[in-house]
Amino acid sequence: QVQLVESGGGSVQSGGSLRLSCEASGYIDAPYCLGWFRQASGKEREGVAAIDRDGGTTYARSAKGRFAISRDNAKNILYLQMNSLKPEDTAMYYCAAYVGRGYCPGFRASGWTYWGRGTQVTVSS
């Protein structure tokens, strides 16, 4: 089992920045994929950014150039630096982990193994 706990959410004005963190704990016996998803009220969960076992990153079009995903493997912490925030970035942000063989699941939410409970990000205009 892997537990994921997000933190760092909050309320900011448009153009502001936030840094989300996700701490992973539990039994992890192999390199794993990590990702950030978000879900706005009344909308489906969508992928924001993902990082694979070797540090390769993928971003949703809405996040490119503004968000940066990174991981500290020694501490088992995942980060999401969010800059130039917009009101449309308002959502619950979730951390996800895939512990298994093969390619990382990308932005298919159903492909991820573990999820955190989320941290709320609210951006006001």
Backbone angles phi, psi at 100, to 5 degrees: 180, -175
User: What pLDDT, in 10s, does the model give residues 35-56?
Assistant: 999 999 999 999 999 999 889 9
The alpha carbon of 42 is separated from its chain's Cα centroid by a whole number of angstroms, namely: 19
pLDDT averaged over consecutive 10-residue blocks of the chain (125 residues)? 95 98 83 93 97 93 97 92 98 94 89 96 97
Report pLDDT for 29: 65
What DSSP designation does 3 have? E
Separation CA 96–CA 103 (nearest Å): 15
Question: How far from 25 is each of 1, 111, 116, CA to CA, in Å?
Answer: 9, 20, 11
Q: Find the angle CA(110)-CA(55)-CA(63) to the nearest 5 degrees.
A: 65
DSSP string, 79-125: EEEE-S--GGG-EEEEEEEE-SSSS--TT-GGG-SEE---EEEEEE-
